[in-house]
């Protein structure tokens, strides 16, 4: 009986060790994804700001007239 209990305990400990390793791997992936998301959000904001600036600077340059085919 004691041998069976030891074997079961060993199996549980092994599974726990694998699960701890898996959780650590997932945490590392989540941290990297969070960094990537932050970087992409900053880049998106910069691009939106640049587009807005370009749009504002072009407003006075383009006359509001009909295209030549009218």
CA distances from 69 to 9, 52, 61, 62, 66 (A): 84, 29, 21, 17, 8
Tell me whether residue 33 is in a domain: yes
Tell me whether residue 12 is in a domain: no
Tell me whether residue 57 is in a domain: no
Name the pTM for this structure. Answer: 0.64
Tell me whether residue 42 is in a domain: yes
Tell me whether residue 39 is in a domain: yes
- Tens-digit pLDDT profile for the chain (70 aa)? 799 999 999 999 999 999 999 999 999 999 999 999 999 999 999 999 999 999 888 776 666 667 777 6
In this prediction, residue 15 carries a pLDDT of 98
Buried b / exposed e along 3-24 (16+ C-beta atoms within 10 A)? eeeeeeeeeeeeeeeeeeeeee
Tell me whether residue 27 is in a domain: yes
Domain range for residue 37? 23-51
In this prediction, residue 41 carries a pLDDT of 99
Tell me whether residue 45 is in a domain: yes
Tell me whether residue 56 is in a domain: no
In this prediction, residue 61 carries a pLDDT of 60
CA distance 3 to 5: 5
């Amino acid at each position: 009986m004691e041998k069976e209990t030891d074997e079961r305990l060993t199996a549980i400990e092994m599974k726990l060790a694998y699960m701890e390793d898996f959780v650590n791997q997932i945490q590392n992936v989540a941290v990297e994804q969070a960094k990537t998301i932050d970087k992409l959000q900053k880049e998106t904001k910069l691009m939106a700001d640049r587009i807005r600036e370009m749009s504002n600077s072009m407003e006075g340059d383009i006359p509001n007239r009909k295209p030549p085919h009218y």
